[in-house]
Amino acid sequence: MLDPGTRVPAFTLPDQDGEPVSSTAFAGHWVLLWWYPRAGSPGCTIEGQELRDRAEQFRAAGCLIVGLSFDTPTENRTWAQEQGFEFPLLSDVDHAVGRLFGVERDPDDQYAAFPLRVSCLVDPAGVVRRTYAVAGVQEHAVSVLSTLTALGRP
């Protein structure tokens, strides 16, 4: 996973509607880049619901939420529709961006097809301010909001 102080690598990935989204679109905004292992899995769904349910607090803090996974756009679209997720879910099916972020697992790992459950809080200049190796899916959204408050965001 990227270390704090690291500039986010440039990337472009399709969202759940197949539309390309570039990391340059986040310039000037705080953004939570949320890597999740599998669209629709129980842990990812809980984590996504927590982010969804606090989306207004993230907006008030000036922070965008962007999900990333190795799922296809179709899998992400189905999950987003089922859960009412209004934030983009980006598809990195060839793992290329996951490698740049250090979220790809070892090839011999039984879960090699899935990224690690990590997030990066990125400042408006595109620099990682905090990374999270997420263990508690229910607490992740609150933890990020606490970090934003500590960094002087409303």
Q: Which residues form the catalytic set?
A: 44
In 77-100, which positions are buried (b, 16+ CB within 10 angstroms) versus exposed (e)?
bebbeebebebbbbbbeeeebbee
Residue 121: its H or E element: strand 118-122
> Residue 55 corresponds to which tokens in the numbers above?
């989306």
- Helices 42-53, 73-83: axis angle to 10 degrees equals 60
